[in-house]
Amino acid sequence: MRYLILSDIHGNWEALEAVLRDAGSDFDEILCCGDLVGYGADPNRVVDWARSRVKTVVRGNHDKACAGLDGLEWFNPAARDAALWTRQTLTSRNLEFLRRLPQGPVAMDSFQLLHGSPLDEDEYLVSTFAVAQIVDYLERPISFFGHTHLQGGFLCYRNSVKRLDRPHLGETRRIIELEHNPFYLINPGSVGQPRDGDPRAAYLAYDSENRLVEFRRVPYDVRKSQEKIRGAGLPALLADRLELGS
């Protein structure tokens, strides 16, 4: 099977559109590691798309908060304002869809999908130290995760954890051939709000038969997304950060 694996779209329609155009039809299924909404100005458009096109979405912390399943006290002020705006803007059908999203990890055939960590969808797996603590809780040798908005991930051997390489600025692709023994935690990066210093939308393609992961980056119309965020009255910071990729 050939999968497109997306995460952290965050209501950014322009970024999602660019990803789908870039991916073409060269895949069998689309999967999402959570956070369809929050921050961006097009939550309904993104959720409408997810309802009809995405095979499996695991719930992200913003999906949970925007659906009213969680309080907003852990969010910073900009995220909180955006979550309230999103909650008011979503149609009842889309709110219901978010409320029913499964909490990860969700097991697929040979791999699993999760948002933050296998223990807590709100936990950020950023350091090799943090990853070493949770390796024993991985129920599949390959896990796709999100939440950090950092494309790449980790290769976990019995006694060590290494970082996976990702496309550098100026590159659009990086292919990784998966080995059989280690455990992998793989992050497609964020479609709608990258934070790794590269403002291009991030995603990945996974060919499960040939065990190939291809990290991809694609530029999109950042200015249009920014105009929509400002036009909706969402915090200006959420527009500003898109062009920085931070």
Give the footprint of Zn ion on this chain (CB under 5 A).
8, 35
Strands 29-32 and 2-6: parallel
The per-type count for the chain, helices as H runs and strands as E runs, is: 8, 12
Return d(Cα 240, Cα 236) in angstroms, integer.
6
Closest CB to Zn ion among 35 and 196?
A: 35
Closest CB to Zn ion among 8 and 22?
A: 8
Strands 2-6 and 106-107: unpaired
Return d(Cα 58, Cα 63) in angstroms, integer.
9
Closest CB 172 distance from Zn ion, rounded Å: 23
Closest CB 8 distance from Zn ion, rounded Å: 4
Closest CB to Zn ion among 167 and 188?
A: 188
Closest CB 14 distance from Zn ion, rounded Å: 17
Closest CB 223 distance from Zn ion, rounded Å: 22
The answer to whether the CB of 31 falls within 8 A of the CB of 3 is yes
Closest CB to Zn ion among 35 and 198?
A: 35
The answer to whether the CB of 101 falls within 8 A of the CB of 51 is no
How many whole angstroms from its chain centre is CA 138? 19
Record the tokens describing residue 119, joined without a space. 């223990």
Return d(Cα 21, Cα 32) in angstroms, integer.
17
Closest CB 233 distance from Zn ion, rounded Å: 21
Closest CB to Zn ion among 183 and 196?
A: 196
Closest CB 38 distance from Zn ion, rounded Å: 7
Record the tokens describing residue 55, joined without a space. 């095979």
Closest CB to Zn ion among 62 and 178?
A: 62
Return d(Cα 203, Cα 152) in angstroms, integer.
10
